[in-house]
Structure 1
Amino acid sequence: MGNGWHEWPLMVFTVLGQCVAGGFIVMALALMTGVSERAQQKRVHWAMIVLWILMGIGFMASVLHLGSPLRAFNSLNRIGDSALSNEIASGSVFFAVGGFWWLITVLGKMPQALGKIWMVLTMILGVFFVWMMCKVYLIDTVPTWYSAYTPLSFFLTMFIGGPLLGYLLLRVAGVQGWGMRLLPAISLLAIVMSTVVVMLQSMELATIQSSIAQASALVPQYGALMSWRLVLLAAALVCWIVPQLKGGLASPAVLTFAFVLMIAGELIGRGVFYGLHMTVGMAIAS
């Protein structure tokens, strides 16, 4: 029993990876549809460096999970056969393709037409990366993970954190288009859906048991931790939305604080996820 905090490297890797994938989609769509001024495009491009820094932090955390950096390359030994290898490979490709696009773009060497195609490809790779993360945990011998709630939770993190991260970086770049006002609604909807997932999952956990324990007992503080998670997410949303309701836009400083709150909330949720690990032989789904 526990709360999954011992898996903090994986918590950081998965949460940041999903947020970066969502954030890139937001910023790429802004560049392709709403940001037309050359000077503003350059500011957006430079702001995107934050995405790759966060992605780098995530990968460094994942290496710590392996115990030794030298084992990182071994994780790629079974691409196509191992879900873990596929996850690392897809994440590396997303990181490399997106990072290379960014580098060529900020150097002013990227043709406009090719740049749009490259951004679309990177967006697809980001979504594929998140799906490969899901596949790692869809293990039929782990009944607490082997359900629709795992991919739902992972993709909802992308829709909760991605719009906020993208919005923050676009604000730093000075973007204020009308489309920006749609992003909080996306995160709000994702948080509502995430709340429903939490309630449904808590009901399902009560049906997974062994002769000595129930899955619901794996994380005794499940309700309290998930409540704190939702409080933090709601607080982040308030920091983001209230200035808009007053007719303005949240400042980058306020948005940064909101993003920190959101990351904290999602890390709590991901910690609970890892704490729910339970294998067959010790547990069966009733």
Structure 2
Amino acid sequence: MASTEWPLIIFTILTQMAVGTYIVLVILRSLLSKKIDPQTAVKLTNFGLLAVGPIMAISLLISLFHLGSPAIAFYSIANLGSSWLSREIFFSGVFFFLWIITYYFNSKNKSGNALNWITAIIGLLAIFSMSSIYSSSIMPAWMAADTFISFFGTTFVLGMIASAATIGFSAKGEKLQEATVSLLQRISLLTLAVIVLQLIFLPQYLSGLSGGGQAGQTSAQLLSATYSFPMILHWLLTVVGAALVTYVLYKKGPEKLMTLPASTIYLAFIIVLVGEFVGRYLFYAIAVPISFG
């Protein structure tokens, strides 16, 4: 894999994590505001929503290392009607811009759900555009629906784990109400479900590569031989991290209040993040163009 792909690896992972975290926290804030007092809901989600901005800013800055210069990024937007790359840059930039607006109004308690949801939708459009860039390439390893499954899977898995970690940080060791713990438990189960869904599609993806042309077969051979260990490591870390969060959330006493084991959730987040970086490294490492050979 070329060293020039590292900015793309970091950009795609951080953007997906930022969008996923924003969406999950907006949902959590909305639900918690109906189950507990709105001020507590804001307190628990505020830090996570704040963190989305710096993560997205770093992601956009790193993307410039791949494009070469800000001027190239600016001119790329001119092809919105025909280029998925232009749409990716546009929607990523708009998502960051809307985050600035929504966070400002949220801090003043003046933002309604409509603005939050518009920002979330723009974020999803950024991920869709990002996925479409690769699925419309000449790389069989990227042309399958698995690219969308992988990118959106990473968006929600990292988003859900990061949301739990930021809530743990915001709680500062205080006991959480039963409604909050219940929502986090459901999120942890949903995280596992998203991972299982990706694993269900994995055999079909590998079979499609093996039954394709020479480029696809070469990608399949790379996965089964050269990169078999990183592939196993990717899924092992992702599953272990997500399972760890689920375990600690369900391992509680009979009391209705629960102190979130933040340090364990931080560890789980790091494990999943490393696993996703390994998976994204594989995504670029096995890409073989159709013209190969």
More helix by share: 2
Distance 1:218 1:243, change over 3 A: closer
Counterpart of 1:56 in structure 2 is 57
Task: Tell me the equivalent position of 1:105.
Answer: 106
* Separation of aligned partners in 2, 1:187 and 1:238: 9
Once superposed, what is the RMSD of the aligned Cα atoms?
A: 2.4
The separation in 1 between residues aligned to 2:215 and 2:241, in whole angstroms, is: 42
CA distance in 1, matches of 2:217, 2:106: 55
Q: Deviations over 1:82-123 (max 9, x none)?
A: 1101001011111111221102221x1x53xx5211111112
* Contact preservation (8 Å) 2:209, 2:216: no
Of 241, 248, 261, the residue aligned with 1:243 is 248
1:180 aligned to which of 184, 204, 207: 184
Listed as ranges, the matches of 1:66-145 within 5 Å are 66-106=67-107, 108=108, 110-111=109-110, 114-139=111-136, 141-145=138-142
Question: Alignment partner for residue 237 of structure 2, among 221, 232, 235?
Answer: 232
1-structure distance, mates of 2:4, 2:273:
17
Deviation of 1:8 after TM superposition, in Å, equals: 1.5
2:30 to 29, 32, 48: 32
Task: Indicate whether 1:18 and 2:28 are aligned.
Answer: no
Asked if 2 retains the 8 angstrom alpha-carbon contact of 1:209 and 1:215, the reply is no
> Helix, strand or coil for the counterpart of 1:80?
coil
Q: Does the CA contact (< 8 Å) of 1:138 and 1:146 recur in 2?
A: yes
Q: 5+ residue gaps in structure 1? A: none
Relative CO higher for 1 or 2, CA cutoff 8 Å, sep ≥ 6?
1
- Alignment correspondent of 1:153: 150
Please report how far the alpha carbon of residue 195 of structure 1 lies from its aligned counterpart in structure 2 after TM superposition.
1.8
Counterpart of 2:96 in structure 1: which amino acid? Answer: F
- Partner of residue 205 from structure 1, selected from 206, 209, 214: 209
Instruction: Output the CA distance in 1 between the equivalents of 2:96 and 2:215.
Output: 45
**Per-residue deviation at 1:69?**
4.1
User: Which segments of 5 or more consecutive residues in structure 2 lack a partner in the other structure?
Assistant: 253-257
Checking the alignment, whether the CA contact within 8 Å between 1:5 and 1:275 is kept in structure 2 is no
Q: TM-score, normalised by structure 2?
A: 0.85
- Tell me the matched-pair count: 277
Over residues 213-236 of structure 1, what are the superposed CA-to-partner deviations in whole Å (9 max), with x where a residue is unaligned?
723234543321110011111221
What code does the residue aligned with 1:265 have? G
Could you tell me how far apart the structure 1 residues matched to 2:201 and 2:260 are?
29
1:261 paired to 2:254: no
> Structure 2 vs 1, CA of residues 187 and 281 (structure 1 numbering), >3 Å: closer, same or farther?
same
Following the alignment from structure 2 to structure 1, what is the Cα–Cα distance between the partners of residues 259 and 44? 18
The alpha carbon displacement at 1:127 in A equals 1.4
CA contact (8 A) 2:15 2:56 kept: yes
State the shift of 1:167 in Å: 1.6
Partner of 2:193: 189
1:26 Cα deviation from its structure 2 partner: 1.3
TM-superposed deviation, 1:254: 2.1
Instruction: Tell me the secondary structure at the aligned position of residue 208 of structure 1.
Output: coil
Provide the identity percentage: 24
